[in-house]
A and B are shown apart, each in its own frame.
Chain A
Amino acid sequence: MATTQDQTYHEEGTLTHDMHEEEHHHGNFITTYIFSTDHKMISKQYLLTGIIWAFIGGLLSILFRLQLGFPEMDMTFLKPLLGKWITDTGTLDPNFYLALVTMHGTIMVFFVLTAGLSGTFSNFLIPLQIGARDMASPFLNMLSYWFFFLASVIMFASLFLESGPAAGGWVIYPPLSALPQAIPGSESGMTFWLVSMALFIASQLMAGINYITTVINMRTLGMSFSRLPLTIWALFLTAVIGLLSFPVLFAAALLLIFDRSFGTSFYLSEIYINGEALPNIGGSPILFQHLFWFLGHPEVYIVLLPALGITSEIIATNSRKPIFGYRAMVGSLLGITILSFVVWAHHMFVSGLNPFLGSIFMFLTLIIAVPSAVKVFNYLTTLWKGNIVFTPAMLFSIGLVSVFISGGITGIFLGNSAIDIQLHDTYFVVAHFHLVMGSASFFGLMAGVYHWFPKMFGRMMDKQLGYIHFWATFIGVYAVFFPMHYIGIDGFPRRYYSFSTFDSFNTFADLNMYISIAAIITFTAQAIFAFNFFYSMFRGRLAPANPWKSNTLEWTTPRHPGHGNWPGEIPSVYRWPYDYSKPHAKDDFIPQHIPFSETPESNLPHENNLIGIEQEGEETSKVDEPNAK
């Protein structure tokens, strides 16, 4: 049985420090930093790869924003970077513009906000917060990263293909993506895209199987489902969504591969291209849309849920208040998970979908507003009258709540099948999902990095730079995406290379220029983060054991947890993770591993009863000690 003494040594991180340092330097460079099976190292690998991808994806967006904001601009200065994609007259090649848009979407959605966000924090937080030594299968975990890495290499290589990378949009609708004659990007670029994504799906499935198995089977003593931190709930449900939806994308991609490379007609039918009839008969492009969006919509929540979980944790910690409505938070996460699978056709309102079906999907889509609103309400009520500590992580979390509301409200417009006829595929949609899914998830990612950086690297990130980074990013995303609502309502279609040839759109030339300038400034501001991140990794202030005075188990580990996380016994859990500012308690936080018997001054009556019951049962349980480790 765990005694009080066992529980308290964790707070004196230095005591155990020497012991684990030895552990840390076992193994050579390759097993420690490259082919590591330690979940913490794998998480850092995901994070680093994600950050590199984020900068590449961001840079691509800057390139096409230059084209949109300054259509007359002479881009000859980009020739060293883009080579033949800048034509002799100094303009951007239209085919490459489409490739830029496609790759920006693919990279951001899959490589940054799926692998970089859930890959980083699922790997890092699941074992640490549930009290496990590592994942259920550390080897599978390592394999999952290296599949992702291979997918990354192939996707990156596709940027340098002679015919250019995939250019049919990140949704790769056939027939555009299926026919090499249709667009240069559908030549080898699309093949690379499909191979890369197949590897990516394999990686995500391995990772997801691992996360779910770990959360269900490897929790420490006392860590019941009702005591799980909300981060774990969110990451767990993210993995469940991924496990159910990624195989369907795989099925869709497989049929597309057959259409492209073997001449089948799953998605192709009666197509004339350059006056020549193709042999394919009997396919259905709408079929692809159904299969794609069966993944594509849940994917939105794969991207968003980890950010919401991270935010719940950070807002409760830094408001010094218990999270408002823990059960409602779990319930809304479950609700979003289930609903995410029954709304996919709202992406297809204008595809010729039966209007009756459209109204069913509209109804189901609008129901998602309920759990989303529950979450927003609970964030705000947790902040309400809290002793708020404005750390950079907290600012990013509050920023997430803000962009989640602004972007979520436009979702109610777009979910309406009648209004969607006007707004479909306009910049209104671009504004909507960049706020609610792109920015919200990005803010969650940043909040998580600022919050758990001390645990990851044992050092603190610079606070002032964090503030500058936050305000630049927060003002930046609104400056970029808010005006897009207006030009969207005016009918600007997405993915168009140039608007200057349409008289009616010329009035918005200055607004487009403004958006582009804001985008460039926001993107440049991310360099502050990059500097802060890499500088603090080596030169940052040494982190205390529990810098944010947080309750969850990861802060009971030494400053540099070794492989196995806790040098001694794994702490047991006696309470939920949100005992902040409990009345009459000595401190304003009581970590999860402190038994109720140590805190008689703050216990509620039913918690005192818990101790009483255990006392009576003590005689019998002492005999066989069934739970002793």
Chain B
Amino acid sequence: MAQPKVESIQWIEEPKQTLSMHPKKFALWLFIVSVVMIFAGMTSAYIVRQSEGNWLEFDMPQMLWYSSGIILLSSITMHWAYAAAKKDNLSSLKLAMSVTALLGVAFLIAQFEAWKELVNMSVYFVGNPAGSFMYVFTGLHGIHLISGVVFLLVVLINVFRYRVHAKSMDQIEMCATYWHFLDGLWIYLFLFLQLNH
């Protein structure tokens, strides 16, 4: 096997370590990319459609301000949970996770109240696309938020089983990433609707 030209000891070049990240976290980011593309498609459709005229003007429901506040608050509590997990402070972790999940539910209720406000203003899902888009944006985001709440609950259960702590942070890190993303996504949609109204 050894080649005569080489010295008596066979040296083999060391193959380089390849770039590598946590595969599941990486996959989560890719999933986020695909969600971004859905909403990028939707908001582009909104702009394209709006530019064609025949666009119903109506006031944004006041409730959306409150729901935006709620979801921003939930991002803070999510970070609190993350920090607590890092410090192995399990009682704060449980509290913070539960509060975050409750704020998530509160956000969904607030969004539903916003729909009621729209209905009271006679802006329905069926009718001018200006109104329909409003329902589609909030509804589609709401469905993703429900998945976020489910993710929160799964992590919360694992907290109670002592599976989330300073040495086992992957799950809560992914949960936090997704939750902050959903928060950011809503803030984007909210600003988008405020500005392109």
Contact = CB atoms under 8 A, between A and B. Distances in A.
A248 B37 contact: yes
Contacts of B40: 248
Interface string A541-574: 0000000000000000000000000000000111
Interface in A64-108: none
Contacts, number: 176
Contact of A213 (B27, B35, B126): B27
Interface string A164-178: 000000000000000
Interface stretch (B15-23, B103-111, B153-161): B15-23
Interface in A170-215: 205, 208-210, 212-214
Interface in A236-253: 243-248, 250-252
Nearest to A597: B12
Contacts of A251: 38, 41-42, 45
B195 interface: no
A595 B22 CA distance: 29
B14 A243 contact: no
B125 A264 contact: yes
Interface stretch (A50-58, A395-403, A614-622): A614-622
B147 interface: no
A331 interface: no
Please tell me the size bucket of the interface on A. Answer: 35 or more
A258 interface: yes
> Majority SS of interface residues in chain A?
helix
B3 A598 contact: yes
A610 B14 CA distance: 9
A247 B37 CA distance: 6
Contact of A574 (B13, B33, B49): B13
A13 interface: no
Interface residues of B, number: 49
Interface in B1-29: 1-3, 5-6, 10-24, 26-27
Given A247-B35, A290-B48, A264 B129 contact: yes
A366 interface: no
Contacts of A4: 1-2, 10, 12
B30 A597 contact: no
B54 A597 contact: no
Interface in A282-319: 282-284, 286-287, 290-291, 294
B34 interface: yes
Nearest to B23: A136
A209 B27 contact: yes
B54 A627 contact: no
Nearest to B54: A282
Interface centre among B22, B33, B37, B125 (most CB of A within 10 A): B37
A572 B20 CA distance: 15
A4 B3 CA distance: 11
Instruction: Return the 8 tightest CB-CB contacts between A and B, nearest first.
Output: A222-B15, A248-B41, A247-B37, A251-B41, A136-B23, A572-B15, A221-B15, A614-B13
Given A243-B30, A251-B38, A284-B52, A597 B13 contact: yes
Contact of B16 (A137, A218, A222, A291): A222
A458 B189 CA distance: 53
B62 interface: no
Contacts of B3: 597-598, 600-601
Interface in B120-168: 125-130, 132, 136, 140
B151 to A, nearest CB: 16
Contacts of A269: 54
Most buried by B among A140, A287, A596: A287
Nearest to A131: B18
A281 B21 CA distance: 50
19 contacts: A4-B12, A136-B23, A209-B27, A216-B20, A243-B37, A251-B41, A251-B45, A252-B41, A258-B132, A262-B126, A264-B132, A282-B129, A283-B129, A284-B129, A286-B48, A287-B45, A291-B41, A574-B13, A610-B13
A371 to B, nearest CB: 23
A53 to B, nearest CB: 25
A147 to B, nearest CB: 14
A579 to B, nearest CB: 15
A264 B37 contact: no
A252 B38 CA distance: 9
B66 interface: no
A595 B27 contact: no
Contact of B18 (A222, A262, A286, A615): A222
B6 A218 contact: no
A501 interface: no
B31 interface: yes
A220 interface: yes
Nearest to B43: A251
Given A214-B23, A262-B126, A291-B45, 14 more contacts: A3-B12, A219-B19, A222-B16, A224-B18, A243-B34, A246-B34, A248-B38, A251-B38, A254-B140, A284-B52, A601-B3, A611-B13, A614-B11, A614-B13
